[in-house]
A and B are shown apart, each in its own frame.
Chain A
Amino acid sequence: MNGKDKNRLAVVHVKLKDGVLDPQGFTIKSALENMGYQGIKQIRSGKIFEITFQQDEKRKPEELIDEICRKLLTNPVIEKYNFEISK
């Protein structure tokens, strides 16, 4: 297989920054407490994106995915992200 046709998979995790109120996480935590689960300290909700993409020989995949995260997938005012790219 030549490098040009190689598909890669990036998994991006987006979370609210620490300190930013997460009404969904808070409500899910309350629901769990109402269901009888004890000892739940905190729930922070987030999003996962799986991006299948064709590797461009001219560009590092890490740079590409990072740019996509910054430009569209996250709002830097309230969110942070990390990602893994599988081999």
Chain B
Amino acid sequence: MKFGVIIFPGSNCDYDAYMAIKTVMKQDVEFLWHQDTSLHNCDCVILPGGFSYGDYLRTGAIARFSSIMKEVMDFAKDGGLVVGICNGFQILLEAGLLPGAMLKNTSLRFICKFVYIKVENEDSPFTNFSKKGQVLKIPIAHSDGNYFIPEEGVRKLRENDQIIFRYCDQVGNVNPEANPNGSLENIAGICNQTKNVLGMMPHPERASEAILGSDDGTYIFQSIVNFFDKNR
């Protein structure tokens, strides 16, 4: 299986994601440039965290028009696996590959800390190696992670089991105290209707080895590898 990590101008978790895939997950991985017009036969494309185009206008709003995004859109429409982490999630929202939008955190602060997220759906290419209800310790690092979607949209997300992760406390209680940024219904990660595109604000690549404080992020990467092996 081959992963691709896209580098946008201003990406800053590209190497973290690359290293987590290569050295921890022992999978083939290559960088993709935002001006590329091919995904180089990658089986899973990661849009990493960072501040593409300085977050100008809106987070992800300009990166969404990069040449490579046309390829990502076609790849996603054909069922290809796409993961957007933090700014990558914001880009997928702007591109319309995932529903909803990001607002500023209610605290108006940049929040960089470990949080707990609950696996709400284990039946996805990104969570099949974890169990429903499992609590993962993974850090967030963002100013605009306050997920918003109109009422009808959130109803659709619930009906189609598209809510993959919710912010929770250490033992898995989903409540306002465990919500770091004001996200609607504590939403931390969602997927599209066909469940091949994931967006999440927490950074699994920053939680890929015990020495980093947690290796819970590997549940997500391992799920992707398992899914691919099973469906190849």
Question: Which residues in A have some Cβ–Cβ distance to B below 8 Å?
Answer: 20-24, 27, 72-73, 75, 77-78
Q: Is B182 an interface residue (CB 8 A)?
A: yes
The reply to whether B105 and A77 form a contact with Cβ atoms under 8 Å apart is no
Q: Is B57 an interface residue (CB 8 A)?
A: yes
The reply to whether A72 and B146 form a contact with Cβ atoms under 8 Å apart is no
- Beyond A73-B57, A77-B100, A77-B101, whether A23 also contacts B148 by CB under 8 A is no
- Beyond A21-B148, A75-B94, whether A27 also contacts B108 by CB under 8 A is yes
Counted as pairs of residues, one from A and one from B, with CB atoms less than 8 Å apart, the total is 38
The reply to whether B57 and A78 form a contact with Cβ atoms under 8 Å apart is no
The reply to whether B101 and A23 form a contact with Cβ atoms under 8 Å apart is no
Question: Which residues in B have some Cβ–Cβ distance to A below 8 Å?
Answer: 57-58, 61-62, 65, 93-94, 99-101, 103-108, 146, 148-150, 182
Measured CB to CB, the nearest residue on chain A to B151 is: A19
Minimum distance in angstroms from B91 CB to a CB of chain A? 12
The reply to whether A77 and B149 form a contact with Cβ atoms under 8 Å apart is yes
Bound complex: CA A22 to CA B105 (Å)? 10
The reply to whether A72 and B57 form a contact with Cβ atoms under 8 Å apart is yes
Bound complex: CA A85 to CA B108 (Å)? 34
The reply to whether B57 and A23 form a contact with Cβ atoms under 8 Å apart is no
What DSSP secondary structure best describes chain B's contact surface? loop
Minimum distance in angstroms from B194 CB to a CB of chain A? 20
Measured CB to CB, the nearest residue on chain B to A19 is: B150
What DSSP secondary structure best describes chain A's contact surface? loop
Among B62, B107, B150, the residue within 8 A (CB) of A77 is B150
Bound complex: CA A22 to CA B65 (Å)? 26
The reply to whether A24 and B108 form a contact with Cβ atoms under 8 Å apart is yes
- Beyond A72-B57, A72-B61, A77-B150, whether A23 also contacts B182 by CB under 8 A is yes
The reply to whether A23 and B149 form a contact with Cβ atoms under 8 Å apart is no
Known: A23-B107, A77-B99. 13 other contacts (CB 8 A): A21-B103, A21-B106, A23-B105, A23-B108, A27-B108, A72-B57, A72-B61, A73-B57, A75-B94, A75-B101, A77-B100, A77-B150, A78-B148
The reply to whether B104 and A24 form a contact with Cβ atoms under 8 Å apart is yes
Contact sample, A vs B, 15 pairs, CB 8 Å cutoff: A20-B148, A21-B146, A21-B182, A22-B103, A23-B104, A23-B105, A23-B146, A72-B62, A73-B57, A75-B58, A77-B99, A77-B101, A77-B148, A78-B103, A78-B148
Closest 6 CB pairs of A and B: A77-B101, A78-B101, A23-B104, A23-B106, A75-B101, A23-B108
